[in-house]
Amino acid sequence: MSKNINQITSYFDKLFPNVGTELTYKTDYELLIAVMLSAQTTDVAVNKVTDVLFTKFKTLDELANADIKEVEECIKSIGLYKTKAKNVIAIAQMLINNFASKVPIEKKDLLTLPGVGNKTANVVRAELFKIPEIAVDTHVSRISKRLGLANEKDSPDQVEAKLRKIIPVESYISFHHQAIHFGRYFCQARTPRCYECELVNICKEKNKRLTP
């Protein structure tokens, strides 16, 4: 599985030399909440609702004391907005009460926050604290499986474990962002641009699109 990793990372470096998160944020808690909200929706959609949310509730204290209906109204255009609205308020309250109003650096602490799972915790640790982490979302999972870095039936945690073994630690964060961009803009689930991809010969995609 790892024999092609240098070819893959070199190609990613050429396509996306300087990529990062597409979520917009100004503070540590804004990023945390944005990542939590991004589950099962797009970064573009999240940026639209967080612009409204963080304009209406300008501080962590205001979010902690927000009316649930007003938060729902701000984020109602994204999926699971009722549950996510509860999580927004609960996260703000827990950050104030348990973590001195700061996003914690330790994964075990992040995982105590409502709506924060392994992927979200990894994204936050990598983005805020520059800790080498590989967060596996749908794009990273799909790309890893298509390029033979993981098996088709692997869970996100299994994909992450395999990537950690074959990717240099110093490249964890960049690979995460590059794989997301590759999956989002180049190797999409339904219409991959196989016809112009330099990795097509090692790709496991069953229905390769060899013509535009």
Domains, the chain: 5-18+134-196 (1.10.1670.10), 28-129 (1.10.340.30)
pLDDT for residue 211 = 84
Confidence class for position 2, pLDDT limits 50, 70, 90: low
Q: How many CB atoms lie within 10 A of CB 200?
A: 16
The answer, yes or no, to whether residue 1 has pLDDT greater than 60, is no
Rounded to an integer, what distance in angstroms lies between the CA atom of residue 57 and that of residue 92? 11
Rounded to an integer, what distance in angstroms lies between the CA atom of residue 194 and that of residue 174? 22
In this structure, are residues 112 and 151 in contact, taking their beta carbons and an 8 Å threshold?
A: no
In tens, the pLDDT along 190-208 reads 999 999 999 999 999 888 8
Confidence class for position 3, pLDDT limits 50, 70, 90: confident
What are the angstrom distances between the C-alpha of 178 and each of 1, 53, 68? 19, 28, 36
Query: Looking at 119, 145, 157, 162, which residue is catalytic?
Result: 119
Query: Looking at 28, 84, 137, 162, which residue is catalytic?
Result: 137
Mean pLDDT of all residues in 164-182: 96
Indicate yes or no: pTM above 0.75.
Answer: yes
Active-site annotation holds for 109: no
Rounded to an integer, what distance in angstroms lies between the CA atom of residue 208 and that of residue 193? 8
Active-site annotation holds for 157: no
